[in-house]
């Protein structure tokens, strides 16, 4: 029996040929990351054909590691620093003008940094960022007009705010002196913060994802133990102060700790246009997604059938018809697929590491080691 070829270790650590794909809101284009002059940059192609794919960013010094479609598919946003200084700036790309250079929407001096930003359905053409342009040691909430670049400070940080949750009203998270997480409401007239509640570490450990405003901004979805030993999804009502269970798994915790490895910002799967909740990720030996929307449940069954890996990146157009998804996989990482829910069509868009043959790689097998009944740690 012939032994398989030995792969050099560099083959496993090369940059992907393509990665991080997502579909535009209107379902006509797909953006992804691919090398340009030995650095990852953002490329855009048509949904049906990649023969006219073009690179839309031009960073020769440092790879672009993420981007964001806006509600207007003309614009793409991405963040980049200068040579690794972590002073992140927000850039805009005009897809209707291929020759136009990227525009820095946060053209501030060194020391100022921003986030990738988020959009609200009720504020089209605007992006919300957290920015320390006023005081370097505190981040304000700032709204930027994507087309003009004009910025407006919506909430000033008094020095205690950890981060902002912008919705129809603006909320802030802070850490109290005893280490609890305090949620406050921002008064736009006075700028004052009024505490609403405090989440203590026993039921809501800091860092357990998610902590997000719900679709209508009247509650917060958050990870909670609720006197149990499994992290479930709860909702805190911002009016009544009541916390209620939204979803839980009989055996698994919310997948809130693996997000960095698979480049997910949250275990929640939400509709990009409306923000409504579609599904929740849980993690055991493998990932399990529970659908909380009937239509998404139908789509999820089709997506799961595309690969025996775990669903990683998920994007869809605003109609919910066209989807682009990628998979976490032990032998074929980053394989990315297109799926049309109206026609049932599906096709492989690309493999991130085509030089790796999945058939020649060893599968990973999860192992669960149960605790010994009645075991105790030895005394020293």
Instruction: Render pLDDT for 325-346 as a digit per residue (tens, 0 to 9).
Output: 999 999 999 999 999 999 999 9
- HSE-up of 146 (CA within 13 Å, CB side)? 25
Choice between 64 and 378, residue whose per-residue pLDDT is larger = 64
Does 8 map to a domain?
A: no
Query: Mean pLDDT over residues 348-364, rounded?
Result: 92
Q: How confident is the model at residue 205 (pLDDT cuts 50, 70, 90)?
A: low
Number of domains in the chain: 1
pLDDT band at residue 157 under the 50/70/90 scheme = very high
Distance, in Å, from the CA atom of 120 to the CA atom of 123, rounded to the nearest integer, reads 5
The predicted-structure confidence for 108-125, as pLDDT tens digits, reads as follows 999 999 987 889 888 999
Closest CA to 34 of 5, 7, 54, 4: 54
The per-residue pLDDT for 261 is 45
In a domain, 189, yes or no: yes
**Looking at the domain assignment, is residue 108 inside a domain?**
no
pLDDT tens readout for residues 27-43: 999 999 999 999 999 99
Q: Which of 12-16, 202-206, 237-241 has the lowest mean pLDDT?
A: 202-206
Q: Which residues contact residue 74 at a Cβ distance below 8 angstroms, ignoring those fewer than 6 apart? A: 94, 95, 96
Query: Would you say residue 164 lies in a domain?
Result: yes
Q: Which of 274-283, 298-307, 355-364 has the lowest mean pLDDT?
A: 355-364
* pLDDT of 355 over the 60 cut: yes
Model pLDDT, residue 273:
87
In the predicted structure, residue 206 carries a pLDDT above the cut 70:
no
CA distance 147 to 94: 9
Q: Is residue 235 part of a domain?
A: yes
pLDDT of residue 260: 44
- Show the domain range for 212: 159-262
Q: C-alpha distances in angstroms, 175 versus 162, 318, 339? A: 7, 37, 43
Top pLDDT among 203 and 242 is at 242
Q: What is the pLDDT at residue 142? A: 97
pLDDT band, very low/low/confident/very high, at 183 (cuts 50, 70, 90): very high
Residue 274 has pLDDT above 80, yes or no: yes
d(CA 176, CA 187): 20
The reply to whether 187 falls in a domain is: yes
**How far apart, in Å, are the Cα atoms of 148 and each of 4, 7, 104, 124, 128?**
57, 50, 11, 13, 14
Residue 239: inside a domain, yes or no?
yes
Average pLDDT value for the chain: 91
Tokens 């031009």 appear where?
Answer: 58
In the predicted structure, residue 201 carries a pLDDT above the cut 90: no
**Rounded average pLDDT over 209-230:** 89
> For residue 69, is it within any domain?
no
What is the model's pLDDT at position 136? 95
On the question of pLDDT at 264 being above 70, the answer is no
pLDDT recorded at residue 4: 65
Model confidence pLDDT, tens digit, residues 44-93:
999 998 888 999 999 999 999 999 999 999 999 999 999 889 999 999 99
Q: What is the pLDDT of residue 259?
A: 52
* Residue 378 vs residue 274, higher pLDDT: 274
């Amino acid at each position: 029996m012939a032994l398989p070829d030995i792969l050099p270790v560099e083959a496993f650590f090369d940059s992907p040929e393509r990665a991080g794909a997502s579909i535009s809101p209107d379902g006509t284009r797909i953006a992804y990351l691919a090398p340009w002059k030995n650095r990852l940059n953002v490329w855009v192609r048509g949904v049906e054909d990649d023969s006219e794919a073009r690179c839309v960013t031009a960073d020769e010094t440092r790879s672009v590691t993420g981007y964001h479609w806006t509600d207007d598919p003309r614009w793409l946003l991405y963040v980049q620093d200068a040579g690794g200084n972590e002073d992140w700036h927000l850039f805009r790309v005009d897809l209707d003008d291929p020759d136009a250079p990227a525009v820095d929407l946060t053209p501030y001096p060194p020391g100022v940094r921003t986030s990738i930003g988020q959009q609200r359905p009720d504020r089209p053409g605007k992006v919300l960022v957290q920015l320390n342009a006023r005081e370097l040691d505190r981040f304000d909430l700032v709204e930027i007009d994507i087309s003009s670049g004009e910025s407006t400070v919506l909430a000033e940080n008094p020095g205690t705010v950890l981060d902002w949750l912008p919705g129809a009203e603006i909320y802030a998270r802070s850490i109290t002196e005893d280490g609890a997480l305090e949620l406050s409401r921002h008064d736009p007239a006075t700028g004052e913060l009024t505490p609403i509640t405090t989440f203590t570490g026993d039921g809501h450990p800091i860092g357990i994802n998610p902590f997000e405003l719900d679709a209508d901004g009247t509650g917060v979805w958050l990870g909670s133990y609720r006197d149990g030993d499994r992290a479930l999804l709860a909702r805190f009502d911002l009016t009544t102060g009541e916390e209620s269970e939204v979803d839980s798994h009989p055996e698994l915790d919310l997948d809130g700790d693996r997000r960095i490895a698979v480049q997910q910002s949250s275990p929640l799967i939400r509709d990009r246009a409306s923000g409504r909740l579609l599904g929740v990720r849980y993690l055991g030996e493998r990932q399990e997604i529970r659908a909380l929307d009937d239509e998404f449940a139908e789509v999820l069954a089709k997506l799961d059938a595309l690969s025996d890996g775990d669903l990683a990146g998920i994007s869809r157009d605003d109609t919910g018809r066209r989807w682009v998804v990628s998979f976490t996989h032990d032998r074929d990482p980053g394989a990315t697929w297109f799926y049309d829910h109206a026609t049932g069509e599906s096709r492989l868009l690309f493999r991130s590491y085509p030089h790796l043959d999945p058939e020649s790689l060893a599968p990973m097998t999860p192992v669960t080691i149960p605790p010994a009944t009645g075991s105790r740690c030895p005394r020293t």
